């Protein structure tokens, strides 16, 4: 039986919960932050997170962005189940620190669940809709007012350069076993430059727009809100859309070890497009719509590169549940990228047809 996590409970007690916090348990499926479900003496629940300061080197900037975004949501959305709400500390701050650790607390959204596989084909439209609605909500926030919390986050050509440097250094002696995988992603180097000189406008974007970051009502399965706002910063809509496709329009989960089972799923892709453009199509500029399919290729390439680099460096960034999980993730994403590339023209045609 799981027992209360005493250090997490101690941090939860520093926040202005409705009653004293009495229980803390590990919660969720995130790769980066440590997340806990907190229960107070009155039975009310909260979500406590310790920010991964290796991934987010300027946690104050992360939190300042989140405060602006959640404040904008609160001004537009009266229903607290359809937005994230930060809980202040007992001193009135929005976060607390303990040594090098940074902690924050959100209200738990009742009767909600993370959208996770298995998902019916039509439900992928809900993912597109949720992130499309987020983009529309964020039109109230000037992107220039947000910190860039992860510089060059979607500059895929820089990940290519880093991969080459890590391959040359081979810090964990893993390059030889990954030689074919390395060549497979390096073949997409030209694609990595696709957004280098784009004319698309900068928007407030989520930058981790994937299936598991959508909360839905447990009964109706309708989307409530998107979560995991650490990566919110100025960016391109096409990158968020690309991440939706990367996480949804595939026949296998991200850690599937058998890459031969990973293929592009056209029916899921079309559902995502319908949901996304149905929510924000009238807000997007023509240059953004024209680059959505390219965003799918780029974000899948980027994710493959990041998993591959992390595996070669010794699994420093992503949480792993077994020793070669980042290897499996990298191979999985590279297989999806290859199939997305084969379907690129068809993707463009679907987007154009729905947008017209």
CB hemisphere CA count around 235 (13 angstroms): 27
Burial class (CB in 10 A: 0-12, 13-18, 19+), 180: exposed
What is the 3-state composition of the chain as percent helix, strand, coil, each rounded to the nearest 5? 45, 15, 40
How confident is the model at residue 3, as a pLDDT?
Answer: 73
Alpha carbon separation from 28 to 73, 213, 215, 278 (Å, rounded): 23, 10, 12, 29
How confident is the model at residue 1, as a pLDDT?
Answer: 44
Residues 6+ apart with CB under 8 A from 156: 191, 192, 193, 194, 195, 298, 301, 302, 305
H helices present in the chain, as ranges: 6-12, 59-76, 124-137, 156-169, 179-186, 237-248, 266-280, 286-290, 292-313, 325-342, 344-355
For residue 175, pLDDT over 90 is answered with yes
Distance CA 290, CA 284 (A): 10
State the average pLDDT over residues 214-231. Answer: 93
Q: Is residue 90 a contact partner of residue 258, using CB atoms and an 8 Å limit?
A: no
How confident is the model at residue 352, as a pLDDT?
Answer: 98
239-287 per-position pLDDT tens digit:
999 999 999 999 999 999 999 999 999 999 999 999 999 999 999 999 9
Alpha carbon separation from 241 to 12, 32, 203 (Å, rounded): 35, 21, 13
Domain 6-108 carries which CATH code?
3.30.200.20
For residue 30, pLDDT over 70 is answered with no
In which band, very low, low, confident or very high, does the pLDDT at 117 lie, cut at 50, 70 and 90?
A: confident
Largest separation between any pair of C-alpha atoms in the chain: 57
Go through the chain and tell me how many residues it has.
356
Q: Is residue 17 a contact partner of residue 38, using CB atoms and an 8 Å limit?
A: yes
Domain 114-355 carries which CATH code?
3.90.1200.10
Distance CA 156, CA 159 (A): 5
For residue 316, pLDDT over 70 is answered with yes
Q: What residue ranges do the domains of the chain occupy? A: 6-108, 114-355
What is the Rg, in whole angstroms, of the alpha carbon atoms belonging to the chain?
A: 20
């Amino acid at each position: 039986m799981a027992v209360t996590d005493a250090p997490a409970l101690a941090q939860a007690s520093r926040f202005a919960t409705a009653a004293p916090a009495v229980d803390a348990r590990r919660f969720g499926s995130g790769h980066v932050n440590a997340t806990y479900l907190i229960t107070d003496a009155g039975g009310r629940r909260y979500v406590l997170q310790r920010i991964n300061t290796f991934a987010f080197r300027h946690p104050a900037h992360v939190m300042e962005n989140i405060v602006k975004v959640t404040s904008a949501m609160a001004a537009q959305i009266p229903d607290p189940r359809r937005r994230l709400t930060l809980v202040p500390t007992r001193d009135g701050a929005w976060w607390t620190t303990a040594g090098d650790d940074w902690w924050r607390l959100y209200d738990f959204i009742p009767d909600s669940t993370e959208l996770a596989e298995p998902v019916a084909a039509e439900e992928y439209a809900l993912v597109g809709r949720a992130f499309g609605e987020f983009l529309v909500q964020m039109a109230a926030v000037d992107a220039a007012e947000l910190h860039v919390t992860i510089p060059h986050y979607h500059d895929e050509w820089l990940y290519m350069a880093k991969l080459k440097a890590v391959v040359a250094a081979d810090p964990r002696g893993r390059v030889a076993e990954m030689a074919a995988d390395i060549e497979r992603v390096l073949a997409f180097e030209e694609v990595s430059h696709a957004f280098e000189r784009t004319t698309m406008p900068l928007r407030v974007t989520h930058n981790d727009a994937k299936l598991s970051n959508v909360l839905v009502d447990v009964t109706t399965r309708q989307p409530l809100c998107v979560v995991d706002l650490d990566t919110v910063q100025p960016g391109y809509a096409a990158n968020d859309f690309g991440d939706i496709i990367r996480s949804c329009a595939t026949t296998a989960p991200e850690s599937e070890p058998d890459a031969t089972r990973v293929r592009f799923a056209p029916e899921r892709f079309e559902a995502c497009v319908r949901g996304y453009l149905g929510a924000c199509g009238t807000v997007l500029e023509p240059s953004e719509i024209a680059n959505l399919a390219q965003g799918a290729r780029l974000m899948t390439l980027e994710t493959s590169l990041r998993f591959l680099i992390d595996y070669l460096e010794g699994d420093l960034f992503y949480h792993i549940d077994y020793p070669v999980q980042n290897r499996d993730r990298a191979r999985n994403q590279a297989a999806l990228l290859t199939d997305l590339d084969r379907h690129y023209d068809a993707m463009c045609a679907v987007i154009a047809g729905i947008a017209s």
